[in-house]
Chains A and B, each alone.
Chain A
């Protein structure tokens, strides 16, 4: 394929048109987000203050990293429910390495830095185990991660004896409490990771391979892509991201309850799907995933500001997710 007769079979205009269309689709959630911001400003004058925007973003940072990890796994054509237990047990482990035995710790009283490193490694290890069972043993991803979710939650409750861990030094919470340009560090970190992931998925061969695997694993294999290795790697990376999310969440709350993360996986999937990540695999963008998270974060914030009775928030939240899915279906018939 070297001596191209280089006959341009298409005008550059149509390529341009297709690119624009593709980009527009990635930003499909931007208009609804702007609409919601307008609603928010109308509901409460404080909505548009810097402090409130920082609250929204700070509250979304942990979720966004979980959504990123889940999005990668779903694009690969797999499934991972363990992320919600992962965000609980990994920082709990880290915390117990740090805090004294009198506060329910292991009594090792490690400094914070190695403990956080252990947290990240634990997260990656959970992904590694999931990957082993799903990729190597070829077990069904849904059932494997459902079982793992229960096991991990059980371990978390077991080692902490159901107690809330709180006696960590301030530096343990640094990611969520330290601000830079009015925003918590967690927000900057999440943005940085999203930007890197966006570039990686679009321009790196492994990113492209992930899309190919989700689109058609056999064809990817026939093209020389190491399907198993990459899929496994994605599980490990998602576990790693969940551990970071766990650390952020811990800092945001200021403690680790035995139920940290419980129920979050539903929000994670909702944000990913609203953001245009196809549950069939092979399709979806990082920008989409990020806007999905933002949309849900803004909705939650508005509901709080509007002083909707907390008993009703869940029902309204669920309805909004359903509504967004239907709108997404109408605007982009090919998705889902």
Chain B
């Protein structure tokens, strides 16, 4: 524990137990890596050393340099200084992907599988077995089947890759990289799109593969997972290596400190510990609302309240929250916003009723990445920024400055292109957009997905602040920790509310209910 709290760049000094000098050389060792992009320092004399057979976690806030390190470890970018070694031998030259693929593979958050091709084509893309110079299809199918059987991946080789579940898709990607010879696999936030059961199966699979001699580097924002699955952990912060330690020797508190650089108050206000009011006006009222995704759902959101919606990924919790924003349709029942009926699937009406929204995916629905902060933030209120629909540029700029200041967005200014910001800051811009119309009801859908710990806390604090200012908040999330700030949490299971928890619930009860287990 003593070495865990030491911040330093020297990897050797902080190696945990298990790095026996007599055993195998490290699967990968990157040392003294620096990388700059223009004026931005992405990595500063950082490094990592992954020991054979020990799943290693790489954690850090957004912008800490994790992605840059991954791109260097996979041969996509060359470092400005420093070296990479696999099993004690120098890495191949950058720009020779086939050589790199024999050493390392990365399963990215965004799939590298081509959805319109079958599994077998994806597995052997650009290295199909040939006969007389032509692709030997029977041979290729046979090899694919053998490969999938070898690693226990139960999918048909002729299935279109686009029809696979996220889970199956990841397994196919892992099998593909193993077939190329790699015995070291980087998993970049593999659990982000999985629900509880799927995560458990993935972890089981990781353990099986580990037993067969595969080593994983695991990148995740969910610290709990790091403790469940990893043996070693390396923390990056502000482009530098902070600490590498045996997981058992680094308690959660210390890990968060290493990531944030402060003995920060991670603890959010638990709604059970604060004053709760139920005298506010009803801002949103669901009355027997039904759609293909949910059935006969009724509940209210009042001013000064945070109402949580949770459930597994197909429970309908997302669609239910989207209904009030106009992003998802409903077919029966009534939905009132501040006393006025909301039409199905009509975003402009929802905006005019003073609803603000942080949608599920910031890249898909939240932001126009190629545009500036001011453009993104003002988008919902373009019609209020001048006469005859003409926009007063100074109002737009002012709106962006307010968002930047209030939400602590790290940017060069209102004209900073959103796509160039880190994930946490992008999400803050989405928040700014949601707040721009001065909403009475704020709908947050997975607002902390893919966001680092510090930004997560900041965003949830912001939600709590808004509640205190009398806003009604509807928070749809699968993150149990996030739901702590809710006055009340409705749990959905297959489109129906199966349980409602008042603040002060026990985590095990809530999770059991989400998973559809009887108490």
Task: Tally chain A residues at the interface, Cβ within 8 Å.
Answer: 36
Whether the pair B391, A219 counts as a contact (CB closer than 8 A) is: no
Binds B, one of A208-216, A231-239, A292-300, A307-315: A208-216
Residues of A within 8 A of B435 (CB): 1
A1 to B446, CA, bound (A): 21
Residue in B379, B402, B436 whose beta carbon sits within 8 Å of that of A212 in the complex: B379
Who on chain B is nearest to A208 by CB?
A: B382
Nearest CB in chain A: distance from B425 CB, A: 12
Residue in A4, A5, A203, A209 whose beta carbon sits within 8 Å of that of B390 in the complex: A203
Whether the pair A215, B411 counts as a contact (CB closer than 8 A) is: no
Whether the pair B415, A19 counts as a contact (CB closer than 8 A) is: yes
Who on chain B is nearest to A216 by CB?
A: B368
Nearest CB in chain A: distance from B447 CB, A: 14
A221 at interface (Cβ–Cβ under 8 A)?
yes
A155 at interface (Cβ–Cβ under 8 A)?
no
Nearest CB in chain B: distance from A47 CB, A: 39
A102 at interface (Cβ–Cβ under 8 A)?
no
A49 at interface (Cβ–Cβ under 8 A)?
no
A11 to B435, CA, bound (A): 24
Q: Mark B301-326, 1 if CB is under 8 A from A, else 0.
A: 00000000000000000000000010
- Name the interface residues of A1-51: CB closer than 8 Å to any CB of B: 1-2, 4-11, 14-15, 18-19, 22
Binds B, one of A145-153, A166-174, A222-230, A249-257: A222-230
**Known contacts A15-B415, A222-B327, A223-B433, A1 near B368 by CB under 8 Å:** no
Whether the pair B379, A206 counts as a contact (CB closer than 8 A) is: no
A222 to B430, CA, bound (A): 11
- Name the interface residues of B358-404: CB closer than 8 Å to any CB of A: 359, 364-371, 375-376, 379-380, 382-383, 385-386, 389-391, 393, 399, 401-404
A9 to B401, CA, bound (A): 8
Residue in A19, A219, A226 whose beta carbon sits within 8 Å of that of B367 in the complex: A219
Nearest CB in chain A: distance from B513 CB, A: 30
A220 to B357, CA, bound (A): 13
A69 at interface (Cβ–Cβ under 8 A)?
no
A269 to B481, CA, bound (A): 53
Whether the pair B370, A215 counts as a contact (CB closer than 8 A) is: yes
Looking at A209, A216, A218, A224, which has the most chain B CB atoms within 10 Å of its CB? A224
Nearest CB in chain B: distance from A20 CB, A: 11
Whether the pair A222, B403 counts as a contact (CB closer than 8 A) is: no
Whether the pair B413, A18 counts as a contact (CB closer than 8 A) is: yes
Residue in B347, B401, B409, B413 whose beta carbon sits within 8 Å of that of A14 in the complex: B413
B213 at interface (Cβ–Cβ under 8 A)?
no
B262 at interface (Cβ–Cβ under 8 A)?
no
Who on chain B is nearest to A282 by CB?
A: B370
**Known contacts A7-B405, A209-B382, A211-B371, A222 near B366 by CB under 8 Å:** yes
Whether the pair A204, B390 counts as a contact (CB closer than 8 A) is: yes
- Name the interface residues of A314-333: CB closer than 8 Å to any CB of B: none
Complex A-B: 10 CB contacts under 8 Å: A1-B399, A1-B435, A1-B438, A4-B401, A204-B391, A208-B382, A219-B366, A221-B365, A223-B379, A282-B371
Besides A203-B393, A212-B368, 6 other CB < 8 A contacts? Answer: A10-B404, A11-B413, A19-B415, A208-B382, A208-B391, A211-B368
